[in-house]
Amino acid sequence: MAQPKTSWRIEPVGPLRGDVTVKGSKNAVSKHMVAALLGSTPSTVRNCPDIGEVPITAGMLRSLGAFVDVEGDTVRVDATRLTQADVPTQFSGLNRIPILMVGPLLHRMGEAFVPIVGGDQIGRRPLDYHVACLRAMGAEITMREDGLEAKASSLHGARLRLPFPSVGATETVLLTAVLAEGRTVLENAATEPEVIELALFLQRMGARIELRPDRRFIIEGGVGLIGAEHALAGDRIEAFSYLVAGLITGGRVRVFGCPQGRLVTAISTLHRMGARFEITDDYLVAEAAKGLGPSVVMTDTHPGFMTDWQSPLVVLFTQADGMSVVHETVFENRFTYVGALKAMGAEIELFDACLGGRDCRFHEMNERHSAVVHGPTKLRGAEITVPDIRGGFAYLIGAAAAEGETVLHDIHHIERGFHKAFDSLTDLGLKVERL
């Protein structure tokens, strides 16, 4: 299933001003759609973003025999009559959702095949954690050249500990353990808001899930689940990205739809740089009337500074007065977008040392996972091919603050992860043209 190749031309127009309403999280909507496979009645997910992830996931579910209806910001999934256990290879490489379907399909069909996963190339994201957990719960897993094959007459609870609090592996365990016989204990689990949101949705379906303070999920399986309804919380990555777009252009962007609680670490980081906030129950807005200063930031698992906030922050650092440091500890290859920013005039140096924080798991591994950013520098327009979702939006932010025209190719990456980004940026005053 090839993705359309689309390009945008961006011409900076000065400060971006206006309102943006973010929809539900890109990192949550597909997982809720997969969870619907476990229900004996249909499920409804509301406040869904209009992004490429939704039709891709809907296509996978429909290939299994599920009914999926997408109307506006509402997605309804009826998986009560599945007919297939194999996700077609045409969905290979599009995102990382297929691996999450293995547990639900084993419960429903006794077997499963999912194609090789895809997603943004931001570092090693192996299936080892997923496979080890599935095997521990009784699945027979065979890795094929074109994907993963699984079989299980029944699945049982297990005591599991993740080597790293992986979001995807935690979600695999939750989606599998809720119907497995007996108790599952998952230690060192991810606790990102999107993971908790999925756990709460499963709880609405009837699952028995408990989260302990020490990153430990306790799941009592073996109980039948029914469908549920849920309105997704706002996307914290989009919200932060638009706040940065306003700051970097000297403008004022009010962001609606994302609760303050999802942005606590982001807000404190921008505060330290000199930004001033207006925060209400309805919106957040950040301004920097006197300019921004440098900062030192280390990404981390929740509640640390989110790795997906890193790329817009680096672009903002190019306009801060002084030297800033970013230490990436979640994905070792997250700085692939830096080369194009340097072509736009940014002064960024990458290092394999753990700068600006404690030694991380990439210490002495020759991975350039720390960035030193010198600012302020004048950015200039350029012609760039977008590598992934987050890097792509970083280029958009940079283009809004640059001198001259920027052309971005393969814009489908951004459209896969940001709700109507073209319309939102146009409403803020940015001149964007589809080519």
Q: What is the pLDDT of residue 307?
A: 95
CA–CA dist 8, 13 (Å, integer):
15
Per-residue pLDDT, 124: 44
Which amino acid is present at 201? F
Q: What's the CA gap between 216 and 223, in Å, rounded?
A: 20
Helix 389-401 with 236-248: angle, nearest 10 deg: 20
Question: 26-231: which CATH architecture?
Answer: Alpha-beta prism (3.65)
Same fold for the pair 8-22+234-434 and 26-231: yes
**Amino acid 121: pLDDT:** 43
148: number of CA atoms within 13 Å, CB side? 26
369 contacts: CB under 8 Å, gap ≥ 6: 327, 328, 329, 332, 334, 335, 352, 354, 360, 362
Contact 275, 286 (CB under 8 A): yes
For the chain, what are the domain ranges?
A: 8-22+234-434, 26-231
Question: Look-up: residue for tokens 């429909």?
Answer: 62
In Å, how far are 121, 317, 323, 325 from 373, measured between CA atoms? 22, 6, 6, 6
Q: What is the pTM of this model?
A: 0.94
CATH code of domain 8-22+234-434: 3.65.10.10
- Per the CB < 8 A criterion, the answer to whether 207 and 176 are in contact is no
Residues involved in catalysis? 120
Neighbouring-strand partners of residue 187: 161
Low pLDDT (below 50) residues in the chain:
119-125
Per-residue model confidence (pLDDT) at position 122? 37
pLDDT for the residue numbered 3: 53
Q: Which residue has the tokens 């924080």?
A: 357
Locus of tokens 């490429």? 52
The pair of structure tokens assigned to 112 is 């499963």
pLDDT value of residue 125: 46
CA distance 424 to 47: 17
The DSSP bridge pattern shows strands 229-231 and 43-46 to be parallel
Peptide bond preceding 376: is omega within 30 degrees of 0, i.e. cis? yes
**Can you give the chain as a three-state secondary structure string?**
CCCCCCCEEEECCCCCEEEEECCECHHHHHHHHHHHHHECCCEEEECCCCCCHHHHHHHHHHHCCCEEEEECCEEEEECCCCCCCECCHHHCCCCCCHHHHHHHHHHHHCEEEEECCCCCCCCCCCCHHHHHHHHHCCCEEEEECCEEEEECCCCECCEEECCCCCHHHHHHHHHHHCCCECEEEEECCCCCHHHHHHHHHHHHCCCEEEEECCCEEEEECCCCECCCEEECCECHHHHHHHHHHHHHCCCEEEEECCCHHHHHHHHHHHHHHCCEEEECCCEEEEECCCCCCCCEEEECCCCCECHHHHHHHHHHHCCCCEEEEEECCCCCCCCCCHHHHHHCCCEEEEECCCCCCCCCCCCCCCCCCEEEEEECCCCECCEEECCCHHHHHHHHHHHHHCECCEEEECCHHHHHHCCCHHHHHHHCCCEEEEC
CB of 386 within 8 A of CB of 411?
yes
Q: Which residues of 10-21 are buried (b: 16+ CB within 10 A; e: fewer)?
A: bebeebbebebb
The answer to whether the bond into 294 is cis (omega within 30° of 0) is: no
The encoded tokens of residue 382 equal 């350029």
Tokens of 365: 């591994």
CA distance 127 to 146: 14
